[in-house]
Amino acid sequence: MELKQLNAFIAIADLQSFSAAAKTTGLSQPSLSRQLKQLETEMGVILVDRYHRPLQLTEAGQFFYDKVSTVLMELNTITSMTQRLSAPSATLNIGFVPSVLYGLLPEVIATLKRNNSNHSPDIEVNLKDISSYQQIEALKTGEIDVGFGRFAHQDAWIQQVLLRHERYVVALPKSHPLADISEQRLIDLVNNRLILYHQTHLPVSTAYIPPSHMSTSHTKATGNGYLDSKQEPVTEPLLHLFAQHNITPLMTTKVSDLQVALGLVAAGEGITLVPASLQTVRTEQISYQRLVHENVTSPIYLHTLKDFIHPKIPDLLDAIYQVYEQRGITYRKQQFV
């Protein structure tokens, strides 16, 4: 069994077409077909049902695909890491979620560059807007060296540190009856349309499980924002915050990202919760008010690979903690191992 045979099989399974797989792999169709046939002969198993269009995997082929694709992904990660170990890049590639950019990230980068200039030529930093979920794959492929995200991840290749918890604030249209109330409670917001914007959801294993946001076939609202229902995990982050207090919004709208959510709030189409660092956005149309609940927070994580830490990441952590000290932010100092 050869690596080129496995790659040929994966391409055929993914694209369900010999011609499309041939273009992707750079092989001719006869060569690609030959690689697959050799793999099947060696295994004594038919992996691809060639009589269907598009091509389909046999039951054995599907099982083999599920297992071998994971192995090949790990092999590609190992190859990428080995290359980076032998010749580390001078550029520090940083992934971030948009909400972090509105906070202290620009100040952290400026501090990093200023600290570094005292010892060596300016460090080159490349910033990439990328979701928390996508950052994990980007770390493995080498697209980024470190990532700022809002969610904890459990991945054998990744290590992460919790930087701090950031309080949420409620974003309301300036014309909203609650817009001038400086201390907000979640229960007072349940009759408003809540605009959801997260693209990454909480893992089921860590989600809180009081009454959740479920279909009407599973839940019954009591009329005061509380639910009498079966219990299921709540994985949508904003709904999770409400569920922690045994309440649920009566109306929700899901949009593609945070900026769209704030645009709808500005237009009077609903309310949302955002990390406090975003309360300088659209202040002409939006009122940001503090929530009384101290546990309604959004964590900020920094994650990188377990087996390869870019030489400048310790300097990045030092810059983060330096900014926290200057701002009087409580934190617990950590290091990657």
pLDDT at 222: 45
pLDDT at 90: 78
Report the distance separating Cα 110 and Cα 87, nearest Å.
26
pLDDT at 251: 96
The CATH number fitting domain 3-86, selected from 3.40.50.300, 3.30.428.10, 1.10.10.10, 1.10.1200.10? 1.10.10.10
Q: Tokens at residue 141, please?
A: 């492929």
Residue ranges, comma separated, of all CATH 3.40.190.290 domains in the chain are 92-337
pLDDT at 226: 46
pLDDT at 258: 92
Q: Tokens at residue 305, please?
A: 């690979």
Pairing label, strands 91-96, 146-149: parallel
Residues 6+ apart with CB under 8 A from 83: 142
pLDDT at 211: 41
Question: Which residue is it, tokens 């080995």?
Answer: 82
161: DSSP letter: E
Helices (H), 98-254: 98-101, 105-117, 132-141, 237-243
pLDDT at 89: 74
> CA angle at residue 27 from 12 to 63, to 5 degrees?
20
pLDDT at 157: 87
Q: Peptide bond before 54: cis, by omega within 30 degrees of 0?
A: yes
Report the distance separating Cα 227 and Cα 219, nearest Å.
7
Residue ranges, comma separated, of all CATH 1.10.10.10 domains in the chain are 3-86
The CATH number fitting domain 92-337, selected from 3.40.50.1820, 3.10.20.30, 1.20.140.10, 3.40.190.290? 3.40.190.290
Report the distance separating Cα 310 and Cα 323, nearest Å.
21
- Splitting the chain (337 residues) into consecutive groups of 10 residues, what average pLDDT does each group show? 87 88 87 91 91 87 90 80 73 92 93 81 87 89 93 89 95 97 95 93 58 36 46 85 94 94 97 95 96 93 91 94 94 89
pLDDT at 217: 31
